[in-house]
């Protein structure tokens, strides 16, 4: 087992409001970005949370990948979002594709501040 888990916390997003509240639009864009990065979507799910006294409800959009997953969560009341991209590198190294995917999803939200992290998971295969 060997993989790369990329995360990003996006603050003060200046994107159109629909990218923070329209679960179907975000999911469709995420699927397109997954494919553009050269990864393989195998399932998808989106959910919009109800409005609250603080403002419109946020969304969660998840794309299950043959390589693992992409997940996006939004908080429109604070113009923020989080995302994670995890790829298993079994059989091939998908790290560059994961980084391209994370960067393209970040660009969708136009954050003014960003905290990004990378976690290398599992053990790299040992040479024979």
* Catalytic residue set: 68, 73, 88
DSSP 19: H
pLDDT score for 90: 81
- Which range (4-8, 51-55, 110-114) has the least confidence? 51-55
Are the CB atoms for 72 and 30 separated by under 8 Å? yes
Q: Domains of the chain by range and CATH?
A: 2-113 (3.60.90.10)
pLDDT tens-digit series, residues 7-36 = 999 999 999 999 999 999 999 999 999 999
pTM of the model: 0.92
Q: What pLDDT shows up at residue 10?
A: 98
Instruction: Tell me how far the alpha carbon of residue 14 is from its chain's centroid.
Output: 17
Please write the tens of the pLDDT for every residue from 88-128. Answer: 988 889 999 999 999 999 999 999 999 999 999 887 556 65
Per-residue b or e along 1-25, where b marks 16 or more CB atoms closer than 10 Å to that residue's CB: eebbbbbbebbebebeeebbbbbee
- Cα distances from 5 to residues 15, 87, 96, 98, in angstroms, run 25, 7, 12, 8
């Amino acid at each position: 087992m060997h993989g790369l888990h990329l995360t990003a916390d996006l603050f003060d997003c200046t994107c159109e409001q629909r990218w923070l509240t329209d679960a179907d639009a975000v999911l469709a864009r995420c699927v397109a970005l997954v494919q553009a990065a050269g990864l393989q979507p195998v399932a998808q799910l989106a959910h919009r949370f109800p409005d609250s006294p603080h403002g419109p409800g946020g969304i969660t959009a998840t794309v299950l990948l043959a390589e693992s997953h992409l997940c996006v969560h939004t908080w429109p009341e604070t113009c923020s979002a989080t995302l994670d991209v995890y790829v298993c590198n079994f059989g091939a190294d998908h790290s560059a594709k994961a980084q391209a995917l994370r960067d393209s999803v970040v660009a969708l939200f136009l954050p003014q501040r960003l905290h990004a992290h990378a976690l290398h998971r599992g053990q790299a295969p040992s040479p024979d």
